[in-house]
Chains A and B, each alone.
Chain A
Amino acid sequence: KQEVTQIPAALSVPEGENLVLNCSFTDSAIYNLQWFRQDPGKGLTSLLLIQSSQREQTSGRLNASLDKSSGRSTLYIAASQPGDSATYLCAVSPSSLEKQAGTALIFGKGTTLSVSS
């Protein structure tokens, strides 16, 4: 059974610091891995999607890497800002399911990031 773990559960950093959020998954049979951001009381915003054949994706100050064989992904945030404060979730789309329908994304519990000015 696929499980997704995110460590740490919470992280506090001063503004300007570079930081790394970690995500691990137990089954390497995945189609893709996605990183989302969730602000308090809001829905999820898709940040990056890495296909299983890719090693990394970049968007602005964000860089996500994927090591499928070891079941790990990292989200690197450069020069953090107070506006980056949010909960970051990763989710995998498992490819070992028999049924085709439904993305059936498996989510981690998230890392809550606080960036102080």
Chain B
Amino acid sequence: ETGVTQTPRHLVMGMTNKKSLKCEQHLGHNAMYWYKQSAKKPLELMFVYSLEERVENNSVPSRFSPECPNSSHLFLHLHTLQPEDSALYLCASSGSVNPQYNSPLHFGNGTRLTVT
């Protein structure tokens, strides 16, 4: 079992649909993250959770709604998205959100989202 697993790998949805992305980590980490990767742009941090508590929301539109039911699972609920939201959505985990602990990030393979 790989460290961080994301499903689905690909998703096509219309602007009026509601869908969810799922992430699961098997590394015993305390922190989980959602990143967005768009073409020709650096990775953008969206949300950070530490022990199921959201500790950062990086000015993300409300059409993206995260959920962290426990320290191993992270969801990203999507509704009424726009075509410009098409991107690769990456989940990551680390031992701690505290950067002073220098915990490396472990990423999943991402969900390629296309909004039509």
Give A residues with C-beta under 8 Å from B.
Answer: 4, 31-32, 34, 36, 41-46, 49, 51, 89, 91, 93, 95, 99-109
* Contact between chains at B43 and A107 (CB < 8 Å): yes
Give B residues with C-beta under 8 Å from A.
Answer: 4, 6, 31, 33, 40-43, 45, 48, 50, 55-56, 88, 90, 92, 94, 97-100, 102-110, 112
A16 to B80, CA, bound (A): 50
Please give the distance in Å from A91's CB to the nearest CB on chain B: 8
How many interface contacts (CB-CB < 8 Å) are there between A and B? 81
* Contact between chains at B109 and A104 (CB < 8 Å): no
Please give the distance in Å from A9's CB to the nearest CB on chain B: 9
List 14 A–B pairs whose Cβ atoms lie within 8 Å, in order of A's numbering.
Answer: A31-B100, A31-B102, A34-B104, A36-B105, A41-B88, A41-B110, A43-B108, A44-B43, A46-B104, A46-B107, A102-B45, A103-B31, A109-B41, A109-B42
A54 to B62, CA, bound (A): 40
Which residues of chain B are within 8 angstroms of A31 by Cβ–Cβ distance?
99-100, 102
A44 to B97, CA, bound (A): 18
Please give the distance in Å from B29's CB to the nearest CB on chain A: 12
* Contact between chains at B109 and A43 (CB < 8 Å): yes
Taking a contact as CB atoms closer than 8 A, the residue among B6, B56, B88, B108 that contacts A102 in the complex is B56
* Contact between chains at B48 and A101 (CB < 8 Å): yes
Taking a contact as CB atoms closer than 8 A, the residue among A36, A49, A101, A105 that contacts B55 in the complex is A101
Please give the distance in Å from A45's CB to the nearest CB on chain B: 7
Whose C-beta in chain A lies nearest to the C-beta of B109?
Answer: A43
Which residues of chain B are within 8 angstroms of A100 by Cβ–Cβ distance?
97-98
